[in-house]
């Protein structure tokens, strides 16, 4: 049965797992706000969706307060002090799995702490459901089982507690099997008891650092203690009828905004027609060309990202590079990454767009034996070079595919939207936003309709233009004729991301949608 847009009034949560949505809604029902609900969602996802996210990764927030103020939080860790070129002598690239892939501090928990400043509910209430699910266990979803089976061979040989946690019977967990994470439950309880700062200093941090050292990671106790979340202003751009917001670098939020700003300058066509799909794909190429030259840790870049977004003439010049009839050849290498986006809105008018990740599925593959934390491999994206884009440097933050989106419409609507999917995140954001905002497509339908992706699929370096089945047959023909390297990938697939959205209307009514490609749900009251 097709999903329908869900409506509510008092509060709403959307997440890619139904138990996480339920955890967030229960916080709203108990008087918590949208930020507190998102912390509950984030923690629960670590227990029920650990192949996609966890407390050993990074996270980014864009928050629209009830008074209209929009601000951001980056829970993003930098490279360890020992993570320099000498550490990788003999390597052509940073490994994607194992101890040397676990080379950055995990910033997610610091982002929670920053977001919760001024909150009202106690931490043990916010983490209650996550602790319960991690301890009692949850049924593995079909999607989770598929990923565990596909990635098991490269993960089960890693040092640490991966096998004990995710293959306790010597095989990947199957759909319906019970996934229990008692060590993670203990760690979440320690955070509830000792405070979120204990992740970075104190007894919990000492256990984390000891595990990382024993497993061979360069991340030290000193690296953990030196970390703190930051609050850079989100980037923004005005388009017809709305102002769009997204996370500042080192995320690719700039590219997500630029795609929509360029498309806003093209002729409209019709939803999912050639002008729509070709226009967004070509806008994506222009945005990615700039992204791959200039987006990274702001401490190592002097590019004026907001200045470009504020310059109508510069945007017009970039839009003019898009040929309305022909595809730009596209040999660019893809960016990797899988993640979880989620959102919440409360009855006071607060709307939160949030995303967090351990980068690859199960991150580095290191599961810390004392704490049950799966540590990210975000730093495997660093280049082993003396200088230039995303070159490895101690303390440097890696380029991030993560980017939570938010839009404020001239008519008073506020929309939080996003997706997992690495290279596909800006593209899926652009598809669902333009369908809804420009063409008036129903919110749930805007997510459920077939999608496209220029670039990689899971485990594949292909840079074709991939399209799901379900578009008008003429579209596939016209895209090929225009020079696109079209690859048809069949029915709707998680390759295209796990998207979601919440829209708050000016009268307080809430609409929400989730992705049928995920195990998600919209929860409301």
DSSP string across 128-158: HHHHHHHHH-EEPPHHHHHHHHHHHHHHTTS
Which of 44, 104, 141, 339 is catalytic? The answer is 339
Adjacent-strand bridge partners of 353:
62, 343
Kindly tell me the sign of the dihedral angle through the C-alpha atoms of 383, 389, 393, 396.
Answer: negative
The reply to whether 339 belongs to the active site is yes
Kindly tell me the sign of the dihedral angle through the C-alpha atoms of 485, 490, 494, 498.
Answer: positive
Q: d(Cα 218, Cα 94) in Å, to the nearest integer?
A: 13
Query: Which of 125, 115, 105, 129 has the alpha carbon at shortest distance from 193?
Result: 125
Q: Residues with Cβ < 8 Å from 302, sequence gap 6 or more?
A: none
Q: What are phi and psi of 40, to 5 degrees?
A: -60, -40
Q: What are phi and psi of 293, to 5 degrees?
A: -100, -35
Written as six digits, the tokens of 436 are 């809804």
Query: Which of 517, 507, 525, 501 has the alpha carbon at shortest distance from 5?
Result: 501
Distances (CA, A) of 500 to 13, 35, 344, 448, 455: 10, 17, 11, 10, 21
**CA contacts within 13 A on the Cβ side of 330:** 28
Catalytic residues: 339
């Amino acid at each position: 049965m097709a999903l329908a847009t869900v409506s509510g009034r008092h509060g709403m949560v959307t997440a890619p797992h139904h138990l996480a949505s339920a955890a967030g809604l229960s916080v709203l029902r108990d008087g918590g706000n949208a930020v507190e609900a998102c912390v509950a969602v984030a923690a629960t996802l670590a227990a029920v969706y650990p192949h996609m996210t966890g407390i050993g990764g990074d996270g980014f927030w864009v928050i629209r307060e009830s008074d209209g103020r929009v601000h951001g939080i980056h829970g993003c860790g930098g490279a360890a002090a020992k993570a320099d070129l000498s550490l990788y002598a003999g390597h052509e690239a940073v490994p994607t799995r194992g101890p040397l892939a676990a080379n950055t501090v995990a910033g997610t928990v610091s982002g929670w702490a920053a977001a919760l400043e001024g909150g009202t509910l106690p931490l043990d209430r916010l983490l209650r459901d996550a602790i319960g699910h991690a301890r009692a266990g949850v049924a593995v979803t079909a999607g989770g089982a598929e990923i565990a089976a596909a990635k098991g061979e490269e993960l089960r040989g890693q040092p640490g507690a991966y096998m004990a946690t995710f293959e306790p019977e010597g095989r990947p967990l199957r759909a319906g099997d019970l996934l229990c994470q008692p060590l993670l439950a203990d760690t979440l309880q320690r955070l509830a008891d000792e405070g979120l700062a204990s992740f970075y200093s104190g007894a919990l941090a000492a256990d984390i650092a000891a595990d990382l050292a024993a497993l061979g990671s360069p991340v030290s106790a000193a690296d953990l203690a030196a970390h703190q979340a930051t609050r850079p202003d989100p980037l923004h751009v005005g388009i017809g009828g709305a102002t769009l917001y997204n996370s500042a670098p080192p995320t690719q939020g700039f590219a997500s905004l630029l795609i929509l700003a360029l498309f806003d300058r093209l002729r409209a066509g019709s939803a999912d027609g050639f002008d729509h799909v070709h226009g967004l794909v070509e806008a994506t190429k222009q945005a990615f060309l700039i992204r791959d030259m200039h987006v990274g840790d702001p401490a190592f870049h002097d590019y004026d990202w907001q200045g470009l977004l504020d310059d109508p003439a510069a945007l017009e010049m970039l839009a003019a590079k898009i040929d309305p009839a022909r595809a730009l050849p596209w040999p660019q290498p893809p960016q990797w990454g899988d993640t979880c986006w989620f959102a919440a809105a409360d009855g006071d008018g607060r709307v939160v767009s949030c995303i967090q990740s351990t980068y690859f599925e199960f991150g580095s593959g290191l599961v810390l034996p004392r704490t049950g934390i799966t540590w990210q491999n975000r730093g495997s994206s660093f280049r082993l070079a003396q200088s230039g884009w995303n070159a490895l440097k101690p303390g440097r933050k890696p380029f991030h595919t993560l980017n939570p989106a938010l839009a404020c419409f001239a008519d008073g609507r506020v929309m939080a939207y996003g997706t997992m999917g690495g290279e596909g995140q800006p593209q899926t954001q652009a598809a669902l936003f333009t369908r809804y905002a420009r063409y008036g497509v129903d919110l749930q339908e805007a997510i459920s309709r077939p999608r496209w992706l220029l670039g990689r699929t899971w485990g594949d370096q292909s840079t074709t233009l991939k399209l799901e089945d379900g578009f008008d047959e003429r579209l596939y023909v016209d895209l090929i004729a225009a020079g696109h390297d079209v690859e048809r990938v069949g029915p709707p697939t998680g390759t295209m991301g796990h998207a979601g959205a919440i829209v708050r209307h000016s009268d307080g009514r809430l609409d929400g949608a989730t992705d049928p490609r995920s195990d998600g749900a919209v929860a409301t009251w």
